[in-house]
Structures are given as structure tokens and as C-alpha cells.
Structure 1
Amino acid sequence: MVAVFAAVALVGACSSDDPPGTTAPSSSAPASPGQEKVLQSRTVLFKPEIRLDLLSLDRVSDKVVTARIRANNPTAQKFSFSFILAPYSRDPKGQLSHDPNSVGGIALLDGGNARLHYPLVGPDRRCLCTRSFAPEVAAGGTLTFDAAFPAPPADVKTLDLVVPATAPFVGVPVGSRPGGKIDLDAGMKGVDPTTAKLGPQRVLPVTAVTETGTGSEADDGDDLSVRISTDVLFKINKADLTPAAQATLREVADKIQRSPGKTVTIEGHADSTGNAAINQPLSERRAKSVEAALKPLVNKPGLVYQPKGYGSSRPLVPNDTPEGRKKNRRVAITFAKPAPATTASPGASGAQPAKGRTLQPTDGPKGASIQVEGLRRGADGVTVLTWTLKNGGSAPVPADSMFTAPPVDGYTDSGPSGVVLTAADKRFRVMRDSERRALVMRYEKAGSEVDRVPPGGQQSMYAVFKVPADVTAVALEFPGFAKAENVAVE
């Protein structure tokens, strides 16, 4: 097994402190001094000797944004990205929906609109990005990746760039370079992505889930869905609201009052116990009970309520555990995302920086420890947590699965989706796309040499959250490790 080395990937690190380098478009070449500006730099999480420089992020038309990234390999051995930069998505027929022979796994994250923009493709679904079966960087050389993406709205001035091998490039200003061209492969250089024929775009909604004492809230950038456990709202097999439900619904009413929308959908859902003859009408009565309680609490003319019951036909998660069934017993109240509330931060005073915190295992692997590297929030609320897992024990540590959330939490694939940020009664979960993939370090294509941390080794990781601006301090919860309290969100 190849040893995995540390990767201190500090989110927000500015490239102005890094020496400039030379780009070798779409090919490996020896590194040489140059004058090209570097916007931000990151190190490869499982091979920190390799540095990625973001050279440009430009709006080349009102419909296309291009990015250029240079990989730098100062070592005496070639480095292969293998398949880690390739896309993950599959269409319903089980085929890769976007060019697997490319760096199509790179994506733009528009945190304000909660959208993940993957590279454009042609009608043949070949990527408008650098194409290579397994990109390799020559010893002492550089390799440049180009990609063209669907552009976000014109008022978006900064974006985050998600590269599977590194922590995200966060808060990158979007430049303007009309007519900018990109290189795809040795035979297709200087391609104008603004005139290319295009296939289906892949722009995925991204959801931020916040768990509360009564259920959860899911923010997809357009709408807010407040999911309240029916265990809080009703007694078993009843549709009359409990006294405890009133306070919860008053909080929902305040959010509806601040919403710019004119429609509120109220969905009643049951778990798989019982049968449709019981669950369906009960879920309908419960949705109508919530509607009746909300109406006098919201003073907005023209507001339309749409209550409906779905019985057990739309589970959030599998019903095969008590935890899963509890999550599926819910009333979901959905409306246009409201304006932020002007409330005080639930964080404690005197919060301390994240960097330098060392966490020891509780029931995690013996001899392992976590070195927290940073917790940085961008202007759009996207917040990136970075840390290094160190293995001081005598057995390999399973980096690909030790922080993975259980299936009941609704994520797919391996990676640190089970890490949580908490503040007061709120639990901020890792953001995920509409395919339920967490925005984290992924291991599916990283190879066996990086999914285990050997004795004496270490590996850096990251996870992406969305933390409201009024939250200035959180606790960090890593499965199997002691909690880090009162950590400043920088």
C-alpha cells in the first residue's frame, strides 16, 4: 500500500504568497518560471506535494464560464490523478451521463443559488473540458486543465470551485474575458465554448439540511421545507394538534411571513407501519390541521395554502429502522425561501479559532487523532471545514468510511458525510446535491492507496456546510471523537 501523506489544505489560502508558474496547456511539461497570475492554490488531499493553482475563472459570455487549473508536480516521480477527476453521475439507464474520459467531475458551486454546475457537454455528451483517460503530471512538470460551465445568473460575482482531489476553492471572483477559448485535447485546442453545439446541461440543486429538536429544515436555494415530526405535532393516530405544536408552528409562521412567495404547500406523511386505508386519510387530516393552525398566525394577503396527504408513499429514508420511520412520520411545510432573520448569534462568546484543535477518539480507532485545520465561511454562507486525520496506532484506519453518515441520514457513497456542526438546538449537516451525494472528500475513485491511512500516516479531508451569517460559533462533531466546543466560524 502506498503511504498517504498529510495535506494541509487551508480553505481561503490566497495565491499572492505563492510563486508564479508556467502553464503547459493540456500537456505535461517541465515547470519553468512565468508571470501567470494565480487566484488561489490548494494541495492534493492525498498527495500534498502536488499543488493545484487556479489560474482563471471567467465569464466568457452570458451563458458560459470557463476555468483553468494548473497542477504542479515538483517531485522526481510522475503523478496520476487516475479517475478521481472524472464525473460521478449516472443516468436512469445506468450509463455515465457525462464524459467519463475527462475531468468532468470538477464543478462550480453557486452557494447563493444553491446550484452545482458541471462542465458543458456536446450533443455526443463529450465534455467541453480537458479530456484524458487518466491525467498524469510529469516529474518536475505541470499539467493544465480547462473546463467550460453553464454560467450562473449575471448578478453572481463570486463562485466556489469544487475539485474532487482538493478542498474547494472558495469565494473566487468571477472575471470577464469575452471570447475566451479552452483546450480539450491534443487535437482540439483553442475551442470557443460559446459557439459549440451543446448537449444536456448538468446543473444540480444543492440542499443544506439543518436538524432541530422538532425535525429539520431543507434549503435548496429556492424553497425552504420545514419538516416537523408528527410525534411533536400529534398523538398516535390522531390529527388534533398537541399544545407543544403551537410554539413550533408559530416559528414556522414567522418564516412564512418573511417569505416572498404566495404559496404554502403542506404535506402529511406517514411511515410504513399500518396500511394505506389508515395512513392516507390520517396524513390528509393532519395536513389540514396544520393549515388551520397556520392561517391565523400569518398576516399576508393573497397567500394560498395547499394541504395534501401522501400516506407512506414518499419516504425520505428507508423504513427499516426506528430512526428511519421517525424521520418519515412528518408534516412538510414548503414555501419560498424567506429573508434572513435579524437575530443574535446562537454561538457562545469568546469563540476560539478552529485551527490547532486536536481531538482524541472516544470510541474511534485507537491511536488516531484529528487535527482541525480551518472553518471558513464565504459571503454566500458556504462554510468549509478542513482537518487532518492522523494515525498513531498499529493498524490502518478506514478513511473512506469512518466519518460516513448512516443510510438513515439520506446520503449516498462514502466520505465524511457524518460530520456535524452544532449551535444551540441546530445541527448543520453536510450539504448534498440532488443525487444525495455529500459535498465532501470522495473515495469512490481515489483508489485503494488512499482509502486507508496506514500506521504513522495522515490524510486531510474536508466537508462543506451552509451556516447562516448570524451563527458565529459552533461545535464540531466527528463520529467516534471528542467534540470541539465553541469554535469560531471565520
Structure 2
Amino acid sequence: MNRIATLSHSILATALTVTLTGCVVAPENESGESGDHTKNPDEDSPEGQNNEHGFIETSYTTSTELGVNLEIGVRPLELIEEKSLKLSMEVSNSSGKDYAIEDALSDPENPYSASATTLIDPATQSRHLNNELEDGSCYCTFTQGVLESGDSINLEVMFPPPPEGTDFMTVTTPVTSPFFDVPIIESSESAEEDYTEGEILSLTMISNDEGNSGWSEQENDEELSILLSSDVLFDFDSAELTSEADEIIEQVASEIDQSNSSTVAIKGYTDDQGSDSVNIPLSEERAESVETSLSDIITRDDVKFETEGHGSSDPVADNRTDEGRELNRRVTVTFEK
């Protein structure tokens, strides 16, 4: 029998499922100017607004080549005419190299933006995605080129309004740990008229009664994602499934057999200990081991598997703690219900 689990801070972090990275370029590369906003949801916002609000919280990135030299600061969320909620963040490069922003914070359809950030409402257990403009693009600021050494850039994203009475939300990005309890303040700005509100997805987490079995689930209306602890499935630095993993794999296979999905995505992740040259192949080999085991026992013959290894990218918790690193060592199995 399954039970609904409480959305603690570490569980909330598992809402993040998009893997996005940027790349470092040589300082002499001048292919574009950082801070060139080609789209801006708030062209008329007053200068100096950054200093007026200040940062609520800052975090170093954990999934970029610049690491702690790329810092993201988040300001209070601004509620505009009860219609939209604006997220404003500043990205700073304190390294000695220029950084190609590319899609570090974005989805593939909206590069050079922060479109892959989301807002989590713990009270309603929901995840808010960005609003869209008439052409289907993100209602965001966009930039081009590189973020030069020592420079900063401001990025904004517009979201649907929160439920009435909501005072705080959690901000998630693909390259940092979540920003918890970001306050919501009233704004005097005007809202853009021609946009579509972003989706609000159910974020129900389910755990089984055994509690410490290395298994949890995350679902929305369309998909089920099963998160499996690598510490339970594998021995240290190994991609060979342990005997303890057999029962877990059988449960996952049963879930897949009962679904309508024809494609199952299996992704492996590690913590940030060690180098990418070790972590990425290990995470891929672990995903392939889970695929091999599942394909042997699934009774349906119309299921195709897609496996990927992402190494330490896309952390769901803070790699600076033992508990966080344990959560980041995982294999996810995702399929349509």
C-alpha cells in the first residue's frame, strides 16, 4: 500500500528533471555582448531595480564547468496586477574565463534565457512553468553571446499567479540547489496582455510503506517518474546490480507493464565527487544495467528503452552534505501512465 509523502525540502528538489549545461570559451572570444536583451517581458521597468530589491538568496552552480565561479542570485518574486508572477535573477561570472550562456538555464526551444527555471508551491504541491508569448516562446528576457569574466546579467521569467494567500514559493534551476521560501511582493508594473499562462503541474510524491527502500515516485497527470537510489542498486563505483536490487526492479517492471507507455526513459546520475570522465560513463553504465534487467522481465513486447548517463549534472539536492549526495546518486525511470 502506498502513502502520500510530505514534500520536505529535499523531496521538493526532485522536481527538477531537465539536464542543461553551458560551456566555457576563451576570454578572447567576443562573439556577442552579454546582457543584450532581444526579448524582455519588462522593457519599461525602472533602472536600479536590482539594488532596490536586493538578493534574497544566492547559490553557486553545481552543473557547469565554472562551478562555484558562476553564481546566481534570486530577488523577491513580484506579483503584477494579480495576473503574473515575475522571477528576477542575476547570473555573475567571477572566473577568469568568459562563459557561453547558451542554454545553461533554458530549455532547447528558448536558448539564452532562464526558461528552465520553475516555481514550486509546497502548499498545493504544484510546479509552475513559465508563461508563453503569442509565438510560443518563453515570456522571458533573452540574451546573446557570452558572459564575460567579472560581468553579471539579469534574467527575468514570468509565471502564472500563485494561489490567493501564497506568501512564499521555491525557485528551482537546472544548475543549482533549490532556493527555498522566496517571498512574494506586490509590484506596480503593468502586465503584458498577449501571453498564455504557463502550465501548473501536480507534484505528488509517493513513497512505499517500507520507507527506506531506495524507491520514490514523482508524477503529474501524464507521466510517472520512479527515482531509484544508486546506493541500494549498486555497490560503490560499480554498475553491476546487487541482489538487493532484484525486488525493486521487479516492482518497476510491474509498473511499466501496467502502463500504456511504449517508451521508457532511464537516466543515471551521480553526486559531484570525482570527475566527469568517471561519473558520466558510470551513470550511463548504471542506466544500461537497469534497462537490461527490466527488458528481461517486462511481459509487454512493445516497449522501447532510451538510456542516458548525466554524471553529476542536474543535482536534486545539495552536494555539500552527505544526505544531499545520497539523493543525487540515483537512476530515474520515466514513462507515460
TM (norm. structure 2) is 0.54
Counterpart CA distance in 1 for 2:53 and 2:168 is 21
Q: Which has the larger radius of gyration?
A: 1
Q: Residues 76 and 167 (structure 1 numbering): CA distance in 2 closer, same or farther, change over 3 Å?
A: same
Please report how far the alpha carbon of residue 219 of structure 1 lies from its aligned counterpart in structure 2 after TM superposition. 7.5
> What is the 5 A alignment of 1:314-463?
322-327=250-255, 388-391=272-275, 396-399=277-280, 402=283, 406=290, 414-415=309-310, 441-442=313-314, 461-463=315-317
The reply to whether residue 125 of structure 1 matches residue 9 of structure 2 is no
Alignment partner for residue 54 of structure 2, among 34, 37, 47? 37
The reply to whether residue 75 of structure 1 matches residue 95 of structure 2 is yes
SS of corresponding position for 2:154: strand
Q: Does the CA contact (< 8 Å) of 2:61 and 2:176 recur in 1?
A: yes
Alignment partner for residue 160 of structure 1, among 163, 170, 190? 170
- Flag structure 2 segments of 5+ consecutive residues without an equivalent: 1-11, 13-33, 38-49, 225-248, 259-269, 295-304, 331-337
Please report how far the alpha carbon of residue 205 of structure 1 lies from its aligned counterpart in structure 2 after TM superposition. 2.4
> One-letter code of the match for 2:104?
I
Q: Does the CA contact (< 8 Å) of 2:127 and 2:203 recur in 1?
A: yes
Counterpart CA distance in 2 for 1:153 and 1:200 is 14
> What is the 5 A alignment of 1:270-281?
none
Residue in 1 aligned with 2:78?
Answer: 58
The reply to whether residue 201 of structure 1 matches residue 218 of structure 2 is no
> What is the 5 A alignment of 1:144-155?
144-155=154-165
Q: Residues 218 and 105 (structure 1 numbering): CA distance in 2 closer, same or farther, change over 3 Å?
A: closer
SS of corresponding position for 2:274: strand
Q: Does the CA contact (< 8 Å) of 2:99 and 2:148 recur in 1?
A: yes
SS of corresponding position for 1:462: coil
> One-letter code of the match for 2:182?
V
Counterpart CA distance in 2 for 1:75 and 1:26 is 17
The reply to whether residue 173 of structure 1 matches residue 177 of structure 2 is no
Counterpart CA distance in 2 for 1:53 and 1:474 is 21
> One-letter code of the match for 1:197?
D
Among all aligned residue pairs of Structure 1 and Structure 2, give the percentage whose two residues are the same amino acid: 14
Counterpart CA distance in 1 for 2:81 and 2:157 is 14
Please report how far the alpha carbon of residue 170 of structure 1 lies from its aligned counterpart in structure 2 after TM superposition. 1.2
Counterpart CA distance in 1 for 2:103 and 2:78 is 26
SS of corresponding position for 2:203: strand
Counterpart CA distance in 1 for 2:198 and 2:61 is 28
Please report how far the alpha carbon of residue 174 of structure 1 lies from its aligned counterpart in structure 2 after TM superposition. 1.4
Give CA-to-partner distance per residue, 1:79-135, whole Å, 9 cap, x none. Answer: 2232122226xxxxxxx5xx445321111111222222122111111221111356x
The reply to whether residue 141 of structure 1 matches residue 151 of structure 2 is yes
- Flag structure 1 segments of 5+ consecutive residues without an equivalent: 1-10, 12-24, 89-95, 180-191, 226-320, 331-369, 371-386, 417-439, 443-460, 465-472, 481-490
Please report how far the alpha carbon of residue 213 of structure 1 lies from its aligned counterpart in structure 2 after TM superposition. 4.4
Q: Residues 152 and 126 (structure 1 numbering): CA distance in 2 closer, same or farther, change over 3 Å?
A: same
Please report how far the alpha carbon of residue 159 of structure 1 lies from its aligned counterpart in structure 2 after TM superposition. 0.7
SS of corresponding position for 1:72: strand
Residue in 2 aligned with 1:260?
Answer: none
> What is the 5 A alignment of 1:255-334?
322-327=250-255
Highest RCO, 1 vs 2 (Cα 8 Å, sep ≥ 6): 2
Q: Residues 50 and 479 (structure 1 numbering): CA distance in 2 closer, same or farther, change over 3 Å?
A: closer
> One-letter code of the match for 1:396?
S
Q: Does the CA contact (< 8 Å) of 1:103 and 1:132 recur in 2?
A: no
> One-letter code of the match for 1:141?
D
Q: Which has the higher helix share?
A: 2
Residue in 1 aligned with 2:124?
Answer: 113
Q: Does the CA contact (< 8 Å) of 1:441 and 1:462 recur in 2?
A: no
TM (norm. structure 1) is 0.39
Counterpart CA distance in 2 for 1:27 and 1:195 is 21
Counterpart CA distance in 2 for 1:475 and 1:78 is 29
Counterpart CA distance in 2 for 1:138 and 1:118 is 29
Q: Residues 396 and 129 (structure 1 numbering): CA distance in 2 closer, same or farther, change over 3 Å?
A: same
Q: Does the CA contact (< 8 Å) of 2:115 and 2:138 recur in 1?
A: yes
Counterpart CA distance in 2 for 1:219 and 1:44 is 24
Residue in 2 aligned with 1:211?
Answer: 208
Q: Residues 126 and 397 (structure 1 numbering): CA distance in 2 closer, same or farther, change over 3 Å?
A: same
Counterpart CA distance in 1 for 2:77 and 2:282 is 33
> What is the 5 A alignment of 1:90-105?
96=109, 99-100=110-111, 102-105=113-116
Counterpart CA distance in 2 for 1:474 and 1:70 is 25
Please report how far the alpha carbon of residue 210 of structure 1 lies from its aligned counterpart in structure 2 after TM superposition. 0.8
Counterpart CA distance in 2 for 1:322 and 1:49 is 43
Q: Does the CA contact (< 8 Å) of 1:123 and 1:200 recur in 2?
A: no
Counterpart CA distance in 2 for 1:400 and 1:81 is 25
- For the aligned residues, what is the CA RMSD? 4.4
Q: Does the CA contact (< 8 Å) of 2:139 and 2:195 recur in 1?
A: no
Give CA-to-partner distance per residue, 1:279-302, whole Å, 9 cap, x none. Answer: xxxxxxxxxxxxxxxxxxxxxxxx
SS of corresponding position for 2:85: strand
Q: Does the CA contact (< 8 Å) of 2:160 and 2:197 recur in 1?
A: no
Please report how far the alpha carbon of residue 161 of structure 1 lies from its aligned counterpart in structure 2 after TM superposition. 0.7
Please report how far the alpha carbon of residue 138 of structure 1 lies from its aligned counterpart in structure 2 after TM superposition. 1.8
Please report how far the alpha carbon of residue 398 of structure 1 lies from its aligned counterpart in structure 2 after TM superposition. 2.3
Aligned length: 228
Counterpart CA distance in 1 for 2:325 and 2:138 is 41
Counterpart CA distance in 2 for 1:399 and 1:475 is 16
Counterpart CA distance in 1 for 2:142 and 2:99 is 17
Give CA-to-partner distance per residue, 1:428-470, whole Å, 9 cap, x none. Answer: xxxxxxxxxxxx943xxxxxxxxxxxxxxxxxx4349xxxxxx
